[in-house]
């Protein structure tokens, strides 16, 4: 086993691809095993081609990224400096209901009283759910940071948060840290051939310098191409194109002008046949249009994007990205696991991609090194978990689309029952009369808590008919208290939290 | 005299405020403005009176922190002795100027304040010209004060309309047997308060003012604290007693 130069009894992980998926996986695994110390039974080599570019997008994260970066051993301040990072305290969805300027928030902090009292039945206008039970929307609307200068880095005691990061800089930072601090071996070369044994596992890969690499585990981080898992092992994609219609994206870097604010949330603004993301970094904005070519043209999509960013003169050049929605059923097949775009992709509406990379890398870190005899078991277990997660993500993304009242063909088609997965239909049948509850999401591998479903459903005006179970709802006094308490907390946050941009500038200067 | 400059990132990029020197600034105020929403807390420290805002017909609440202009006996050798500091002091050395545009007041800085420095303390602006968290907080306090002042004015207006405010002179008796009469203050008319009709009482109760009024009433006994602090700070002008005299108007 192992490649010819590696004579130790250590197991070797070879990662193919040096995008965010490759480097983040390398960092998470290497940090967990302290590979740099050389005392564990594991080595990591990352192979990346200098000729094949990374996808270069993917700038919104989940709050999970905080612990991930901390565990890797990075200073949060350094991350902010190197990646022009900013705080993200949730998502703001504009025009998803009528298209007349309506908006709702999916904040990262759970509703006040969560787990103690089901708030929705007591709120007269349920579309005010996030507002009445959570302070974060107000903090976001005022462009505030999630903490004060007196607090430690990584502290989320006041307000749960994630990041906006410059994708290219993020991968570069991870690369440097992996090589200099974490003991990851870096090889710049293009994989030209992949040898398999009956498409069940990878024997070796041949690089363009004619060297051959063997490994105990190959991690396919080669991007959409999925060179190992897809091309070589022939693992097919379970398509979600019939549920999620978008198949193209136009991405722009938009400079700031004059005195500006950095929005501490990702804004997703619905368009005729898609939506536009707007991600504030400290150095620029990342803005892009995700749309479906079945319902609009690239030209029209570009026009709407330019209009959104106010680029009438056409000074900015968008990059086009095509994609399919779907995932591989066997993400871990034989001795090969797909991580990142090679494992699957759905539109970035809830910024799930980096989070799935974190989960996958953590699983690898926890399971490796492993005897070959156990690999079929751990891979099967992982595949089962991930299939469930992908289905839940697809359901949750679809949820954003089905209660709109817009009249464009794209939005009508999105409401068509045939496009809604059965699993989501079943959930909705229950939520119709009692709303999503914590108990519906008790599985340990669940990604979105009930709170997320509540924010999105209620935010869109989905109003369950609570009358059938009205005898359960006897906590009105408590609910009113929670609403009052939320007002107090909101006031207190608004008077104590600093402006987002100012916080970052001052923090980084100190 | 304060020397106010309109705050700007260009002019004040290397201006600092040393908060530890703020009490020295407080020492200039013998009457300190207190807003209604602060009155309950302030009543545990200071004797509270009413006074007319300069040049205006509006009433305000004043904490009596000394017996002569420029004498704040709650400050001694740069230390602030009270546990509660009203907004009107906490916002120093800044204040808002409404003259140019009442809707969008300008923040002004008293550059002669002993807390203002070119070398030491909290910076006001970042290199980008944006305010620091310190200045941000001060500006939030200034805004909070404006809202609080509007509330105070409205509620005191109601109280005055009920004839609850009665002008009162202080008669200060020094140990050398001299006396000094201080005018311009007013107190609650306790008798009138006891005789309010139930409608009047319930309307005061609804706005939450009633309990505030009782606290203001009780705060009068804090005058002994002011006297004590005065005698410590200015032993040569030892005060034996302060009497209140309802002035006949
Ligand atoms: C429009 C859009 C918006 C997105 N927004 C978000 C978001 O907000 N949040 C989020 O979490 N995610 C988002 N994503 C997803 C995110 O961008 C990706 O999950 C992430 O960048 C990981 O990409 P990757 O590393 O798998 O692939 P890539 O970045 O494509 O990297 C592939 C790597 O493989 C190497 N490679 C390929 N072939 C070979 C070969 N033969 N030999 C050697 N090396 C090879 C390449 O050189 C490259 O280094 C978005 C994606 C898209 C398309």
Which is more confident, B193 or A78?
Answer: A78
pLDDT band at A4 (very low <50, low <70, confident <90, very high): very low
**Mutational pocket test of ligand 1: of A27, A58, A59, A338, the residue with most ligand atoms within 8 Å of the beta carbon:** A58
**Mutational pocket test of ligand 1: of A24, A55, A352, the residue with most ligand atoms within 8 Å of the beta carbon:** A55
Q: Is A505 close to B127, i.e. CB distance below 8 A?
A: yes
What is d(CA B116, CA B135) in angstroms, rounded to the nearest whole number?
Answer: 13
What is d(CA A443, CA A438) in angstroms, rounded to the nearest whole number?
Answer: 10
Token output for B18: 């040393």
Helix (H) or strand (E) holding A209: none
Residue range of the domain that includes B237: 4-246
Token output for A173: 């930072």
Q: Is A149 close to B133, i.e. CB distance below 8 A?
A: yes
Q: How many CA atoms lie within 13 A of A468 on its CB side?
A: 8
Rounded to the nearest angstrom, the distance between the alpha carbon of A302 and the centre of ligand 1 is: 22
Active site residue A88: yes
Q: Residues of chain A with pLDDT > 90: what percent?
A: 85
Q: Which CATH class is domain A11-59+166-241+328-392?
A: alpha beta
Out of B126, B140, B144, closest to residue A502 by CB: B126
**Mutational pocket test of ligand 1: of A14, A15, A21, A46, the residue with most ligand atoms within 8 Å of the beta carbon:** A21
Residue A461, classified by CB atoms within 10 Å of its CB into exposed (0-12), middle (13-18) or buried (19+), is: middle
Instruction: Please say if the pLDDT value at position A284 is more than 90.
Output: yes
The contacts of residue B83 (CB under 8 Å, 6+ apart) are B45
pLDDT band at A8 (very low <50, low <70, confident <90, very high): low
Catalytic residue among A32, A82, A88, A333: A88
Instruction: Please say if the pLDDT value at position A3 is more than 60.
Output: no
Q: List, in sequence order, every residue forming a beta bridge with A191; answer none if it has no partner.
A: A207
A404 Cβ inside 6 Å of ligand 1 = no
Out of A148, A495, A505, closest to residue B126 by CB: A505
Give the DSSP letter string of A118-181. --GGG-SSGGGHHHHH-SHHHHHHTTB-SS-TTSPTT--SSS--EEE--HHHHHHHHHHHHHHT
Average pLDDT over residues B95-113: 88
Average pLDDT over residues A274-299: 97
pLDDT band at B246 (very low <50, low <70, confident <90, very high): confident
User: Is A58 annotated for ligand binding?
Assistant: no
Instruction: Please say if the pLDDT value at position A408 is more than 50.
Output: yes
Token output for B188: 């609650």
Query: What is the reported pLDDT for A5?
Result: 44
Q: List, in sequence order, every residue forming a beta bridge with A338; answer none if it has no partner.
A: A220
pTM of the model: 0.87
Average pLDDT over residues B148-158: 90
Query: What is the reported pLDDT for B248?
Result: 60
Instruction: Please say if the pLDDT value at position A377 is more than 50.
Output: yes
Contacting residues of A for B131, CB less than 8 Å apart: 499, 502
Query: What is the reported pLDDT for B8?
Result: 92
Cβ proximity of A108 and A161 under 8 Å:
yes
Cβ proximity of B216 and B59 under 8 Å:
no
The contacts of residue B186 (CB under 8 Å, 6+ apart) are B49, B50, B51, B59, B165, B166, B167, B168
Query: What is the reported pLDDT for A71?
Result: 97
Which of A43-47, A447-451, B24-28 has the largest mean confidence? A43-47
Instruction: Please say if the pLDDT value at position B54 is more than 80.
Output: no
Residue A18 alpha carbon, nearest atom of ligand 1? 49
A91 Cβ inside 6 Å of ligand 1 = no
Q: Residues of chain B with pLDDT > 90: what percent?
A: 71
Residue A56 alpha carbon, nearest atom of ligand 1? 29
Q: Is A499 close to B127, i.e. CB distance below 8 A?
A: no
pLDDT band at A468 (very low <50, low <70, confident <90, very high): confident
A178 Cβ inside 6 Å of ligand 1 = no
Query: What is the reported pLDDT for A503?
Result: 96
Contacting residues of A for B137, CB less than 8 Å apart: 498
Query: What is the reported pLDDT for B249?
Result: 52
Count how many pairs of residues, chain A against chain B, have C-beta atoms within 8 Å: 30
Q: Residues of chain B with pLDDT > 70: what percent?
A: 98
pLDDT band at A7 (very low <50, low <70, confident <90, very high): very low
A471-475, B166-170, B190-194: the lowest-pLDDT one: A471-475
What is d(CA A22, CA A424) in angstroms, rounded to the nearest whole number?
Answer: 32
Atom 1 in ligand 1: residue holding the nearest Cα:
A249
Domains in chain B, number = 1
Report in angstroms the alpha-carbon separations of A389 from A168, A352, A443, B110, B241.
27, 10, 11, 60, 79
A302-316 pLDDT per residue, tens: 999 999 999 888 889
Rounded to the nearest angstrom, the distance between the alpha carbon of A167 and the centre of ligand 1 is: 9
Q: Is B133 close to A506, i.e. CB distance below 8 A?
A: yes
Out of B133, B140, B144, closest to residue A502 by CB: B133
Site from B91, B130, B135, B148 to mutate, A interface, most A CB atoms within 10 angstroms: B130
Out of B127, B132, B140, closest to residue A495 by CB: B140
User: Is A32 annotated for ligand binding?
Assistant: no
Cα angle value A147/A151/A157 (rounded, 5°) = 60
A318-346 pLDDT per residue, tens: 999 999 999 999 999 999 999 999 999 99
Hey, where are the domains in chain A? 11-59+166-241+328-392, 248-322
Site from B133, B140, B148 to mutate, A interface, most A CB atoms within 10 angstroms: B133
Rounded to the nearest angstrom, the distance between the alpha carbon of A368 and the centre of ligand 1 is: 24
Handedness of CA B21, B23, B26, B32 (dihedral sign): positive
Instruction: Please say if the pLDDT value at position A473 is more than 90.
Output: no
Average pLDDT over residues A108-133: 90
Helix (H) or strand (E) holding A210: none
For residue B133, the chain A residue with the least C-alpha distance is A498
Which of A219-228, A474-483, B173-182 has the largest mean confidence? A219-228
**How close A257 comes to chain B (CA, Å)?**
13
The contacts of residue B197 (CB under 8 Å, 6+ apart) are none
A62-71, A97-106, A197-206, B1-10: the lowest-pLDDT one: B1-10
What is d(CA B155, CA B36) in angstroms, rounded to the nearest whole number?
Answer: 8
In terms of DSSP bridges, do strands A266-271 and A90-94 run parallel, antiparallel, or are they unpaired?
Answer: parallel
Average pLDDT over residues A129-153: 95
Cβ proximity of A22 and A16 under 8 Å:
yes
pLDDT band at A1 (very low <50, low <70, confident <90, very high): very low
Average pLDDT over residues A185-203: 96
Contacting residues of B for A509, CB less than 8 Å apart: 126-127
Query: What is the reported pLDDT for A38?
Result: 84
Mean pLDDT score of chain B:
91
Q: Is B131 close to A499, i.e. CB distance below 8 A?
A: yes
First-to-last alpha carbon distance for chain B, in angstroms, is 33
Query: What is the reported pLDDT for A39?
Result: 84
Query: What is the reported pLDDT for A162?
Result: 98
pLDDT band at A469 (very low <50, low <70, confident <90, very high): confident
Average pLDDT over residues A122-133: 90
**How close A459 comes to chain B (CA, Å)?**
30
């Amino acid at each position: 086993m192992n490649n010819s130069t590696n004579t130790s009894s250590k197991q070797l992980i070879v990662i193919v691809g040096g995008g965010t998926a490759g480097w983040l996986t390398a960092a998470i695994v290497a940090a967990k095993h302290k590979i740099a110390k050389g005392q564990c039974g594991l080595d990591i080599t990352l192979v990346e081609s200098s000729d094949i570019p990374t996808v270069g997008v993917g700038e919104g994260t989940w709050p999970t990224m905080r612990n991930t970066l901390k565990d890797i051993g990075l200073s949060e301040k350094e991350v902010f400096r190197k990646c022009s990072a900013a705080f993200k305290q949730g998502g703001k969805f504009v025009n998803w209901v009528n298209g007349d300027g309506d908006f709702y928030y999916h904040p990262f902090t759970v509703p006040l009283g969560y787990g103690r009292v089901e708030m929705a039945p007591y709120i007269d206008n349920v579309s005010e759910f996030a507002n009445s039970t959570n302070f974060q929307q107000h903090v976001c609307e005022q462009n505030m940071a999630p903490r004060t200068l007196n607090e430690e880095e990584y502290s989320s005691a006041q307000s749960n948060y994630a990041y906006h990061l410059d994708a290219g800089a993020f991968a570069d930072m991870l690369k440097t840290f992996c090589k200099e601090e974490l003991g990851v071996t870096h090889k710049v070369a293009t994989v030209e051939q992949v040898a398999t044994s009956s498409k069940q596992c990878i024997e070796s890969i041949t690089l363009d310098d004619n060297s051959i690499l063997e490994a105990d585990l190959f991690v396919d981080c080669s991007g959409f191409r999925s060179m190992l898992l897809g091309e070589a092992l022939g693992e097919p994609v379970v398509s979600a194109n019939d549920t999620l219609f978008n198949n193209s994206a136009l991405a722009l870097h938009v400079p700031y002008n004059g005195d500006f604010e950095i929005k501490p949330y990702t804004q997703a603004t619905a368009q005729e046949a898609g939506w536009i993301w707007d991600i504030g970094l400290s150095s620029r904005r990342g803005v892009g249009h995700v749309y479906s070519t079945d319902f609009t043209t690239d030209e029209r999509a570009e026009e709407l994007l330019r209009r959104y960013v106010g680029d009438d003169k056409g000074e900015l050049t968008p990059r086009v990205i095509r994609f399919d929605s779907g995932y591989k059923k066997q993400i871990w097949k034989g001795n090969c696991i797909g991580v990142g775009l090679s494992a699957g992709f759905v539109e970035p509406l809830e910024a799930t991609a980096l989070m799935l990379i974190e989960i996958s890398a953590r699983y690898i870190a926890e399971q490796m090194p492993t005897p070959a005899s156990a690999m079929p078991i751990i891979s099967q277990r992982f595949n089962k978990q991930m299939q469930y997660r992908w289905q839940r993500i697809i359901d949750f993304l679809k949820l954003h689309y089905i209660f709109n009242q817009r009249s464009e063909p794209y939005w009508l088609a999105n409401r068509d029952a045939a496009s809604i997965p059965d699993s989501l239909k079943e959930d909705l049948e229950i939520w119709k009369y009692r709303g999503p509850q914590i108990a519906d999401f008790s599985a340990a591998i669940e990604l979105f808590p009930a709170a997320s479903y509540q924010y999105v459903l209620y935010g869109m005006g989905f109003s369950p008919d609570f009358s059938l179970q009205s005898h359960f709802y006897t906590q009105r006094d408590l609910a009113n208290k929670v609403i009052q308490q939320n007002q107090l907390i909101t006031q207190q946050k608004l008077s104590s939290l600093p402006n987002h941009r100012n916080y970052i500038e001052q923090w980084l200067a100190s | 005299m304060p020397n106010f400059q309109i705050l700007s990132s260009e002019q004040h990029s290397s201006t600092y405020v040393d908060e530890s020197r703020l009490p020295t600034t407080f020492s200039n105020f013998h009457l300190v403005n207190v807003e209604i929403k602060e009155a309950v807390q302030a009543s545990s420290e200071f004797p509270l009176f009413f006074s007319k805002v300069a040049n205006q017909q509006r009433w305000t609440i004043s904490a009596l922190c000394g017996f002569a202009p420029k004498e704040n006996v709650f400050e001694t050798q740069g230390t602030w002795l009270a546990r509660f500091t009203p907004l009107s002091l906490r916002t120093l050395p800044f204040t808002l100027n409404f003259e140019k545009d009442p809707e969008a007041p300008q923040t002004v800085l008293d550059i002669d304040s002993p807390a203002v420095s070119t070398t030491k303390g909290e910076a006001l602006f970042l290199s980008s010209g944006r305010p620091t968290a310190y200045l941000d907080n001060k500006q939030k306090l200034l805004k909070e004060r404006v809202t609080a002042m509007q509330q105070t004015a409205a509620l005191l207006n109601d109280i005055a309309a009920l004839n609850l405010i009665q002008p009162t002179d202080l008669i200060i008796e020094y140990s050398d047997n001299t006396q000094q009469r201080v005018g311009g203050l007013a107190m609650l008319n306790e008798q009138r308060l006891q005789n309010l009709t139930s409608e009047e009482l319930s309307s005061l109760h609804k706005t939450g003012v009633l309990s505030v009024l009782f606290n203001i009433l009780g705060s009068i006994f804090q005058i002994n604290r002011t006297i004590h602090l005065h005698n410590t700070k200015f032993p040569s002008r030892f005060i034996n007693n302060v009497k209140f005299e309802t002035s006949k108007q």
